Amino acid sequence: MFTKSPSIRLRKPLGTRFSYLLCLAFFTGPTLLNAQKTTSATGANDNFTVRLMNIEAPANETFRYSATLKNPGTTALIYELSADAPAGWIVSFRAQGTLVTSLNMSGAKSEELSVEVNTSPNVKPGKYTIPIRAVSLHDTLSLEVEAVVKGSYNIMLTTPTGRLSDEVTSGVHHDIHLTVKNTGTLPLKQLELSAQLPPQWECTFEPAKIQQLDPDASQEVIAKINVPDKTIAGDYVATFTARSQENNTQAIFRITVKTSLLAGWIGILVILAAIGIVWYLIRKYGRR
């Protein structure tokens, strides 16, 4: 009689199974972790986005970025807004045209934001990266914007001596020497000068237009003023404006008007003549 031998099942040693699981975790763990991180980062970026992240402008202009912030959860959250800008820069946030520093957002709600960046006065041309964050109790949403500073447009209008006052005589043409200087880092083009004067005063400029003024360069301009005759003596204000395609500036000038010497003598003669007439009338008719 044959007896059926029991089946034999081979089992791997415990050490071999542990080694196998350890190797599996070593090779697949980082992949799963990276996949989890990628999903989380993608979700954060989807909830805080900006339309144009790179803007190029002069240093004295405001960099404006249009961003969208979304509360992905179902509960209301308060998001604190902040930015890491270079020293001396100012970053502000606007929602529906109003300056804000935080937003109270209900669940699954989106809000349009305007991010306004103003550089420091002495900023150098270059590319600057500005991290922006929206922080709540549950999560931190972040994005980055780039400001490409290409320089600045600045005009200074003064006189060769720096004095902004002068004396003129009524009824006489008078020349005022002005100095237009480019104090920015970019060339100024198509510079024109204009004047705001008292009524009936006239002014022309020589030259009438400056085609281009390079950085640190200056140009002398003569303002030819015609003060009407019989203008009452006193102090008057004239405003000169230098305007280019990129920028403009003003200089307020105080002008003291004096009467001419001839007009003074004529006035004296009129007074003496009046006195003489009165004296004659008294002599002739006073005894009657």
| Structure confidence by residue, pLDDT tens digits, 142-175 | 999 999 999 889 999 999 999 999 988 888 889 9
Domains of the chain: 46-149 (2.60.40.10), 155-259 (2.60.40.10)
% of the chain at pLDDT higher than 70: 77
User: Residue 103 has what pLDDT?
Assistant: 96
Residue 8 has pLDDT above 70, yes or no: no
Instruction: Report the C-alpha gap between 235 and 253 in whole angstroms.
Output: 10
The pLDDT value recorded for residue 266 is 58
- Band of residue 231 on the pLDDT scale cut at 50, 70, 90: confident
Give pLDDT tens digits for 73-96.
899 999 999 999 999 999 999 999
Weakest-pLDDT range from 43-52, 103-112, 195-204: 43-52
Task: Report CA torsion sign: 81, 83, 87, 91.
Answer: negative
Q: 15 vs 68, which has greater pLDDT?
A: 68
Tell me the average pLDDT across 98-105: 96
pLDDT score of 40: 33
108 burial level (CB within 10 Å; 0-12, 13-18, 19+) = exposed
Q: Which amino acid is at 278?
A: V
The three-state DSSP-derived secondary structure of the chain is CCCCCCCCCCCCCHHHHHHHHHHHHHHHHHHHHHHHHHHHHHHHHHHEEECCCEEEECCCCCEEEEEEEECCCCCCEEEEEEECCCCCCEEEEEECCEEECEEEECCCCEEEEEEEEECCCCCCCEEEEEEEEEECCCCEEEEEEEEEECCCCCEEEECCCCCCEEEEECCCEEEEEEEEEECCCCCEEEEEEEEECCCCCEEEEECCEEEEECCCCEEEEEEEEECCCCCCCEEEEEEEEEECCCCEEEEEEEEEEECCHHHHHHHHHHHHHHHHHHHHHHHHHCCC
Contacts 24+ apart (CB under 8 A), 269-275: none
Q: Is the pTM of this model over 0.75?
A: no
- Contact yes or no for 145/50 (Cβ under 8 A): yes
What percent of the chain clears pLDDT 90, i.e. is strictly above it? Answer: 59
pLDDT (0 to 100) of residue 7? 42
The average pLDDT across 103-130 equals: 94
